[in-house]
Amino acid sequence: GVKLFAINAVTPKLIDEAIAAVRRTLGNHSLDCLILAAPRLRLRPDGTAPNGSTALHDLVRLWTAVTDYRARGVVARAGLSDLTAAQLRGVAAAARAVPDIAQVRFEDGLSESDIADLVEWAAESSGTLHTHADRLSGPDVDHVVAAVRQHGGHGDWAPAWCARFVVFDPARSVIVRCGHVLSGRHVD
């Protein structure tokens, strides 16, 4: 499975770039699972964007790009990470595409009511809930940028996306490969 972290100014074109890079890296024609995380696109708990924010519109554009791959069979199952049930419903309604998976972090202080809402969302949408502990925070991004610069990255650049992948061999019940693919853009 692949988790794609949309970091800065990610567009559907960069979603295309990320999926192509991961597929080249893995040598796969298709991905069994792709989870989209957009930690900098903040929505209100009710699924709306703060006044003047384009966060909902931007997330819908990214989600639509991901679901286009699902529709073409390149991605078998697609999901969204760290959204409330109301946010999932809002994105799904606006994009006219329901996530197969909602990935949540229980460490984020979800209330019993929040969890019940997510369970209800899963039941009504035929989706599944997955838990995770992988977060790509601002300090994580800063660490990656510093490491790239230390190992020969030149000039000023900002990360655009980072994909974390895990290849699991179900016959042997082991992870056979994992890693990251990172892309950035030049900053003037």
15-61 per-position pLDDT tens digit: 898 899 888 888 877 889 999 988 777 777 777 777 767 788 888 99
Q: What pTM was computed for the model? A: 0.78
Q: The tokens of 17 are what?
A: 């770039």
Is the model more confident about 156 or about 124? 124
Helix (H) / strand (E) element for 25: namely helix 12-26
pLDDT at 140: 61
Residue 5 amino acid letter: F
Q: Are 59 and 99 in contact (CB under 8 A)?
A: no
Return the DSSP state at 182.
E
d(CA 58, CA 56): 5
User: Which residue has tokens 């790239």?
Assistant: 148
Q: Is 126 helix (H, G, I), strand (E, B) or coil?
A: coil
pLDDT at 48: 73
Residue 173 amino acid letter: S
70: confidence class by pLDDT, cuts 50, 70, 90: very high
How crowded is residue 118: how many other Cβ atoms within 10 Å of its Cβ? 19
Q: What pLDDT, in 10s, does the model give residues 154-181?
A: 556 666 677 767 776 667 666 666 766 7
Helix axes 112-125, 85-95, angle to 10 degrees: 30
Q: How do beta strands 128-131 and 157-169 pair?
A: unpaired
Whether 78 shows a pLDDT value over 80: the answer reads yes
pLDDT at 156: 64
d(CA 123, CA 136): 29
Q: Is 79 helix (H, G, I), strand (E, B) or coil?
A: strand
Is the model more confident about 72 or about 83? 72
d(CA 124, CA 82): 18
